[in-house]
Amino acid sequence: MAKRSTEAQLVHPFPAFWDGQSEVLILGSFPSPKSREMAFFYGHPQNRFWRVVAGLYGDPFPGTVDERSAFLRRHHLALWDVIASCRIVGASDSSIRDAVPNDIRPILEGAKIRGIYVNGQTAFRLYQKYLLPEIGREAVCLPSTSPANAAWSLERLMEAWSVILDK
């Protein structure tokens, strides 16, 4: 007999970050427990997202939510996640079940997004399944900045992620 999950469906606890000046949309899968606790993107101290993007733009590491928000505005970056609600075990993207996608059309209609990028294979797979058929815009899959992606050094991540600067 299959084991049934007693875990509740989690709902994304904070809004997308974007404004009318946003040019690059970066999508994750679903926020980790640390991000949900912080109520902002990439809150786990071992996630390398903020180190990667700060390094790409030559900025100091933005440690607080206010610093991160200012960084995103300054560099015209929008952040959101593919999934609006799901069942998930801890921060394990591979455990995502019963996913309900976010609607990214308001961002695409309200900003001049020149490129959509996804942070990792799971986010890319979810994007392909749920969002691509709805919006018809391809996304570029970037290597995950998660600490689970230990095979990628910070330098290698920065090289791969430098494509967000190209468009």
Catalytic residue among 47, 102, 119, 149: 47
Whether 23 contacts 113, CB under 8 Å: yes
149 a catalytic residue: no
φ/ψ of 132, rounded to 5, equals: -55, -45
Distance CA 148, CA 160 (A): 17
3-state class (DSSP) for residue 68: helix
Whether 101 contacts 48, CB under 8 Å: no
Measured between alpha carbons, how far is residue 124 from residues 3, 24, 68 in Å?
A: 28, 16, 24
Annotated catalytic sites, by residue?
47
